[in-house]
Amino acid sequence: MIPGARFIVLRAAGEIVGMVGYRPFDRRFTIDDHVRSELKFQDRNVVEILRLFVEETHRSKGLASMLIAELVDRAKEDAVDIMYLHTHTFLTGAKNLWEKNGWTLIVADEEPPWNTIHMSRDVRLQ
């Protein structure tokens, strides 16, 4: 287990149908071997969202938002300041889902094939 990490698993009828987690943000996104200025988050306790997933047969029921809300509550308990995530334009609906749940765009990289979207949420403000 990674210190400072949390994972939430959602089960239905004994089967895992969804999950989400976070771990301390390692600031691995660099430009020319320097941490991107947009992602420095100076003097902040920052975690990175990992692996939001809901089984296809359980989608469109609000479960992703429920998992996100639970994870935000855990982050508040852990005195997290900023929750960071990255997603990609090819993940249809991902950006809208995160915006609906309080995340804002930091920067979007338009570099194929990934087209990475970086987003964050200041947990202390909500």
Q: CA 115 to CA 95: how far, in whole Å? A: 12
Work out the burial of residue 8: count CB atoms within 10 Å of its CB; fewer than 13 is exposed, 13-18 middle, 19 or more buried. Answer: middle
> What pLDDT, on a 0 to 100 scale, did the predictor assign at position 82?
96
Please give the chain's pLDDT, 126 residues, in tens: 688 899 999 999 999 999 999 999 987 665 555 556 777 787 889 999 999 999 999 999 999 999 999 999 999 999 999 999 999 988 889 999 999 999 999 988 877 777 889 999 999 886
Residue 78, by phi and psi: left (phi above 0), alpha (psi -120 to 50) or beta?
A: alpha
Q: Which fold does the domain 6-125 belong to in CATH? A: Aminopeptidase (3.40.630)
Q: Which of 41, 106, 98, 39 is nearest to 72 (CA)?
A: 98
Give me the pLDDT at residue 104, please: 96
> DSSP readout, 49-84?
EEEEEE-GGG-SSSHHHHHHHHHHHHHHHTT--EEE
Smallest CA-to-CA distance from 57 within 21, 18, 90 is with 18
Nearest to 24 by CA among 39, 9, 6: 6
Query: What pTM was estimated for this model as a whole?
Result: 0.87
DSSP tag of 91: S
The domain locations on the chain are 6-125
> Which is nearest to 72 in space by CA: 9, 122, 112?
122
